[in-house]
Amino acid sequence: MTKGILVCAETADGKITATTRELLHAGRDLADAAGSALAALVTGKNPQEAAAEAITLGADTVYTVDAPSFVESTPDYYASLLVMTCRKTEPAVVIFGQTDLGRDVAPLLAARSGGVACMDCVRVAIDTQTRALLQTRPVYGGNAMAVWSSGEEVLRVVALRPRSYAAAEPDATRQGEIVALDPPDSDESPRMELLETRKEDIQGVKIEDARIVVSGGGGIGGPDGFKLLEELARVAGGASGAVAATRVPCDEGWVSHGIEVGQTGTIITPDLYIAVGISGAVQHMVGCADSKVIVAINRDPDAHIFQEADFGIVGDYRQAVPALTGAIKSIKGA
Amino acid sequence: MNIVVCVKQILDPNLPPAKFKVDSKARQIIPPEGIPLVMNPYDAQAVEMALRLKEKNGGKITAVSLGGPEAVSAVKYALSLGADEGVALSDEAFFGSDSLAVAHILGRAIRKIGAYDLVLCGRQAADWDEGLTGPLLAEELGIPVVNLVRDIENVGGDWRFTRVISGGEQVFAVFLPALATITNEAPQTRLPTGWGIISANRKQIPVWNGGDIDVDPTRIGSAAAVRKLTALTAPERKRNCEMISKETVAEAAGTLARRLGETGAFL
Amino acid sequence: MLQEFDAIIVGAGPAGCACAYSLAKTGLDVLVTERGGFAGAKNMWGGAFYGPVLNELFPEFWKEAPVERPVTRHRYSLLSGEGCLSVDYAHPKFNRPPYNGFTMFRAKFDNWFAEKVQQAGAIVATGLQADDLLWDKNKVAGVRAGGDDLPAKVVIACDGVNSMMAKKAGLRGELQPQDIKQGVKEVLRFSPGVVEERFNLQDGGGIDWEFIGDCTRGLPGGAFIYTNKESLSVGVVVSLKSLIDQGVRADDLLQDFKRHPAVAGLLEGGELAEYSAHLIPVSGIAMMPSRLYADGFLVAGDAAALVLGTGLALEGANFAVASGMAAAKTVIKAKQASDFSAVTLSSYQKLLEEGFVMKDLKTHRLAPHFLENERIYTAWPKFACNLAEKVFTSDGEPRRKTWELLKDEMKGEGAVSFAQMAKDLFEAGRAL
Ligand SMILES: Cc1cc2nc3c(=O)[nH]c(=O)nc-3n(C[C@H](O)[C@H](O)[C@H](O)COP(=O)(O)OP(=O)(O)OC[C@H]3O[C@@H](n4cnc5c(N)ncnc54)[C@H](O)[C@@H]3O)c2cc1C
Ligand SMILES: Cc1cc2nc3c(=O)[nH]c(=O)nc-3n(C[C@H](O)[C@H](O)[C@H](O)COP(=O)(O)OP(=O)(O)OC[C@H]3O[C@@H](n4cnc5c(N)ncnc54)[C@H](O)[C@@H]3O)c2cc1C
Ligand SMILES: Nc1ncnc2c1ncn2[C@@H]1O[C@H](COP(=O)(O)O)[C@@H](O)[C@H]1O
């Protein structure tokens, strides 16, 4: 039997996360193409429920480790956990999300298992002839797409960019096996210790979960302008409307870094992305380019963003945004 | 404290997209003529972090860069910002090295540099955007790594690394020597001073080859790379923008709202 | 670390590099500050370096400098409507040492030159912009750059057409649009062999091709094509004042020019590799500062408006090198005498007067004024092209004598009259 595909699952409140559902989708496709099985690793306190969910989402086998979750432990601990799991389960490919966990652990796992890692991929496929893993990833900030091939002689570790795959749909009739593994021995002489995890208070929906995102750039000019954007997001999107930003407002301190969209920010794919006072730099656009509809409001008719949008208005946002808010209000009210 | 900073010289990531010419046949990006390479912006922030640490805690900063002739420029730039020493790593045998090999070479160079407390890398090099080298280098050196670090502080003799995570941040106590990859949320970079540039230019930058640092020749270069680049293409642009131009912005907004309404976007 | 340099040179273009190289060779402690990320980073020219002056500095420079092609062929064309009337001169001697001129790229040439300067012992500090002059009473005492005071016995401003340093030294005022032309240029890249084939070039030779007429929509200026190894430099140079007055963008003129039937075919399939724009001081002596020196201060190259623009030729790089070398000679003397006062430094201006720089500029002092004559760009190309068209057209009608055609041509609306023709020819003879 060929070695299988292992997805490193993440959970939130005991449920499989949206990103992990995407990984299970990608993993299922790979396993089917390779004629092998799909396994998932679920960790955390009482992982059984999430393990069962992973089976409905496509896993054939789920390994569980009753251990602290990633945010409660250290990268070192999770690297040992993954190394141990791979030693026991001998996968051909391990799939992470390009998340905090994936960014930390994928490279360490590859290094410690003599494997090869490929980060921030948007597509993975198996070359059915050579059984090499083909990994597609944006490079040069999104100015080019690269495909890397890694042969099956070593463990292949990939991290998949969130929103690159549709989430796997649950199928309650699926059958699978759940295998509990022992957690790794806790480290006698730890090299690092987690002192504190601070989570920002987010009011309303997270930008990655919002259906309508109104995003502001350097053109907003200060924190006050964002109030107009909030109003638009609320009127157009209600509870599923959110405000995001480019790097400029975050670096300037007008808004929190948590709402940055782009290569180093969050990748989002809302139904509607309204880009206000945004020039359309690649590093930003890679974070929102797969939105269903993109609207650009910019006072510079030559702004690059207009080449990336479906609808454009040239004008000062201070007039355009309230006008749009008003127009949507009256349409919705009617 | 002794700090080593790994810096890489790259094509300016802020160039407009038209400047990135993709040669799909040769599978490489053709750099536009006459445009200087720049230090990877995250590496510049790593240098900034090192400078701040040195200002508070004293010590020495050594910049290391692997590459062709541009590696010397990267080191010079680090010196002009205030690094104390630097070394360039250049050897034809390094050509085609993957992240694992780069980490091996950097690791050997750092061993030769001598005792260190902290190694700083950028969160990723903004050319290939991978973010692998830092953690792989930590493994090579056998030291712990914290990614996306935005602050490093000494609190009563303990080293605290604050790093960015999705929706928040974490603080770790870390035992040195350790490696940190520096994120864009870290402090912005200062500009080099006049005397900084001049003294950097006066310095002879040592250039080490594979033999100088005792690299394992079977672990470097394109022959050692397990992962192969099989395609490089320009991304496709998918959208056709409908410009809504009306007498007034208010009218345009009205039309836009209607058009969006038709797409079902907000209903 | 407050150390005084013998000389600080602002700008690592041809003027600055030539000056710094000469100084460093004699052992002076020299700093060059260049604001670009490397020397040549943001610089441009049409593409050819003419004359023997570089050979003086680096004997047989073509063996090591990044030259593209020797210019072995000169062509001048008048454009009118779709017509094009040309004269072409080629000589094999242009393809033999010491050659007459070479096409080169600034980015490579300046970088090479700066490398030589460094090898000679000077510091070329790139990414360092000079922001101000330091003063010791009335004497320039260094520059302020990168937030630091950098003292020097003498500062040589080689900072190009806009020379902030010369302005700060009080030697010149703001640039006036009528004194400058704007140049825009594209480099179009071709597959190997295409350039030779399209321009019929042999033995590695190259062409310098200048155009006047409809390529600038009649505005004072012209267009050019230079051949490089595997690319073409294509550009227009137009009076800034007329661009402003007419509300035209130089780039639009360039795009028009590229579509002209006389050139469109030659440019076909070229891949845009580079685009740049730059100003050129073209009023010659009329715009030169009356003094090119002050206490502890000299100015050279474009900063001193040492550019020759006759319409037949646009040369500045060689003047820049020559003036940089003259400035160096002066500074070496001053250093020997430990005297950097204006009086000592004034010998710089004498050196320039004696050399080809001022002689050429004086010979052509009327050229800038002559070149403002609008007829050169409108009536004349039209006249010449129409005439040629009639001479060469074979339409079944009985042929007429050229002289009669010429007379006809002078009758039409907007045509050149005999009197104007005589006047223009006379002035051209005096000016060029
Ligand atoms: C390695 C690297 C990674 C990066 N990663 C990211 C990333 O993840 N996310 C990200 O966002 N950026 C990222 N950036 C930065 C990115 O390259 C751009 O600099 C940034 O996105 C620009 O933001 P902006 O468009 O908001 O600002 P600007 O470029 O300043 O554009 C402002 C726009 O607003 C318009 N404007 C001004 N005033 C008004 C007005 N009153 N009304 C209407 N329009 C107006 C202007 O015409 C202009 O187009 C990265 C950069 C690098 C080098
Ligand atoms: C379109 C065009 C076509 C031309 N064609 C030709 C031709 O075919 N042949 C020819 O001989 N000449 C030509 N010229 C003219 C020629 O390019 C210039 O005369 C020549 O480059 C002048 O040299 P320079 O060293 O004086 O100034 P520049 O070449 O302008 O160099 C000035 C340098 O100073 C730097 N600098 C400026 N300010 C500062 C500061 N404050 N601090 C630090 N550095 C500073 C600049 O970055 C630059 O590197 C052409 C010019 C143009 C624009
Ligand atoms: N050639 C190199 N020379 C020095 N440092 C490097 C080099 N390549 C990568 N690095 C370091 O590793 C970080 C991550 O690089 P990468 O893994 O290529 O994204 C960079 O920000 C640098 O700090």
What pLDDT is attached to residue C42? 79
Q: Strand pairing partners for B174?
A: A192, B159
Nearest to A247 by CA among B75, C326, B42: B42
**Start-to-end Cα distance in chain B:** 60
Q: pLDDT: is C6 or B238 the higher one?
A: C6
Domains annotated on chain C, with CATH: 5-66+105-172+289-354 (3.50.50.60), 178-281 (3.30.9.10), 370-431 (no CATH)
DSSP string of B152-200?
Answer: EEEETTEEEEEEEETTEEEEEEEPSSEEEEEPTTSPPPPPPPHHHHHHH
What sign does the dihedral B223-B224-B230-B232 (CA atoms) show?
negative
Q: How far is the CA of B123 from the centre of ligand 1 (A)?
A: 20
Mutate to test the interface with B, among A135, A328, A329, A330 (most CBs of B within 10 A): A328
Q: How confident is the model at residue C423 (pLDDT cuts 50, 70, 90)?
A: confident
Taking a C-beta distance cutoff of 8 angstroms, is the pair B183, B170 a contact? no
Name the token pair of B144: 């712990």
Share of chain C above pLDDT 90, in %: 66
Q: What is the pLDDT of residues C150-168, one digit of tens each?
A: 999 999 999 999 999 999 9
> What does the pLDDT average to over B235-258?
90
CA distance A272 to A236: 10
Residue-wise pLDDT for C264-295, tens only, equals: 999 999 988 888 899 999 888 888 888 999 99
What's the gap in Å between the CA of B198 and the closest CA on chain A?
31
Which chains sit next to C, with 3 or more Cβ pairs under 8 A? B
Residue nearest atom 29 in ligand 1 by C-alpha distance: A279
Q: Are residues A63 and A89 in contact, defined by beta-carbon separation less than 8 angstroms?
A: yes
Nearest ligand 2 atom to the CA of C226 is 8
State the closest ligand 2 atom to the C-alpha of C300, by its place in the atom list counted from 1.
Answer: 26
State whether the Cα torsion B111-B112-B117-B123 is positive or negative.
negative
Look up residue C41 and give its amino acid: A
Average model confidence (pLDDT) for chain A? Answer: 95
Q: Which residue, by CA, sits nearest to atom 30 of ligand 1?
A: A218
Instruction: Report pTM.
Output: 0.90
Instruction: Give the ligand whose atoms come closest to the C-alpha of residue A288.
Output: 1
pLDDT of residue B184: 96
Residue by residue, what is the 3-state secondary structure of C321-388?
Answer: HHHHHHHHHHHHHHHHHCCCCHHHHCHHHHHHHHCHHHHHHHHCCCHHHHCCCHHHCCHHHHHHHHHH
Any ligand 1 atom below 6 A from CB of A217? yes
Q: Do B146 and B32 contact (CB within 8 A), yes or no?
A: no
Q: Between B and C, how many residue pairs show a Cβ–Cβ distance under 8 A? A: 64
Q: What are phi and psi of A85, to 5 degrees?
A: -60, -45
Q: Does domain B2-224 have CATH number 3.40.50.620?
A: yes
Q: Which own/partner pairs from C132-139 qualify as long-range (CB within 8 Å, at least 24 positions apart)?
A: C132/C168, C133/C165, C133/C168, C133/C169, C133/C297, C136/C296, C138/C295, C139/C295, C139/C296, C139/C340, C139/C341
The region of weakest confidence among C19-33, C327-341, C377-391 is: C377-391
> Collapsing DSSP states into helix, strand and coil, what is residue A27?
helix
The 3-class SS string of chain C reads CCCCEEEEEECCCHHHHHHHHHHHHCCCCEEEEECCCCCCCCCCCCCEEECCHHHHHCCCHHHCCCEEEEEEEEEEEEEECCEEEEEEEECHHHHCCCCCEEEECHHHHHHHHHHHHHHCCCEEEECCCEEEEEEECCEEEEEEECCEEEEEEEEEECCCCCCHHHHHCCCCCCCCHHHEEEEEEEEEECCCCHHHHHHCCCCCCEEEEEEEEHHHCCCCEEEEEEECCCEEEEEEEEEHHHHHHHCCCHHHHHHHHHHCHHHHHHHCCCEEEEEEEEEEECCHHHHCCCCCEECCEEECHHHHCCCEECCCCEECHHHHHHHHHHHHHHHHHHHHHCCCCHHHHCHHHHHHHHCHHHHHHHHCCCHHHHCCCHHHCCHHHHHHHHHHHHHHCCCCCCCCCHHHHHHHHCCCCCCCCHHHHHHHHHHHHHHC
Place of tokens 């090499």: A132
**CB B61 within 8 Å of CB B196:** no
pLDDT at A75 over 50: yes
Mark yes or no for CB contact B35/C41 under 8 Å.
yes
What is d(CA A260, CA A286) in angstroms, rounded to the nearest whole number? 12
Q: Do B33 and C146 touch (CB under 8 A)?
A: no
Ligand 1 neighbour A226 (Cβ under 6 A):
no
Q: Which residues of A touch B245 (CB under 8 A)?
A: 314
pLDDT at B267: 64
Predicted local confidence at residue A2, as pLDDT: 66
Summarize pLDDT for A286-310 with one digit per residue, the tens: 999 999 999 999 999 999 999 999 9
* Region C157-183 average pLDDT: 93
Residue C1 has pLDDT above 70, yes or no: no
Contacts of B197 in chain C (CB under 8 A): 125-128, 146
CA of C16 to the centre of ligand 2 (A): 10
Neighbours of chain B (3+ CB pairs under 8 A): A, C
pLDDT for residue B43? 98
Of A76, A118, A198, the CB nearest to B144: A76
- Element of type H or E holding B47: helix B41-57
Residue C415 above 80 pLDDT? Answer: no
Closest residue to atom 31 of ligand 2, CA basis: C13
The predicted structure's pLDDT at residue A3: 87
B156 in reach of chain A (CB within 8 A): no
Q: Which two tokens stand for residue A323?
A: 């006008």
**What integer pLDDT is reported at residue C375 of this predicted model?**
83
- Chain C residues touching residue B33 (CB < 8 angstroms): 105, 107, 187, 273-274
Contact assessment for residue A159 and residue A39, using Cβ atoms and an 8 Å cutoff:
no
B42, pLDDT greater than 90: yes
Beta pairing class for B60-66 and B2-6: parallel
Cβ < 6 A, ligand 3 pocket: B 6-8, 40, 42-43, 64-67, 99, 102, 121-122, 124-125, 128, 130-134
Domains of chain A with bracketed CATH: 5-181 (3.40.50.620), 212-333 (3.40.50.1220)
Find out whether A200 and A258 touch, Cβ atoms under 8 Å: yes
Backbone angles phi, psi at C412, to 5 degrees: -55, 170
Higher pLDDT, C423 or C336: C336
> Which positions in chain B touch A312 (Cβ < 8 Å)?
241-244
Contact present, A122 and A49 (Cβ < 8 Å)? no
List the residue whose alpha carbon is closest to atom 9 of ligand 3: B133
The token duo for A332 is 């919705």
Per-residue pLDDT tens digits for A223-248: 999 999 999 999 999 999 999 999 99
Residue C173 CB-density burial (10 A; 0-12 exposed, 13-18 middle, 19+ buried): exposed
Distance of CA B267 to the CA centre of its chain: 44
**C414 pLDDT band (50/70/90 cuts)?**
low
Mutate to test the pocket of ligand 1, among A226, A298, A318, A321 (most ligand atoms within 8 A of CB): A298
**In the prediction, which pLDDT does C388 show?**
84
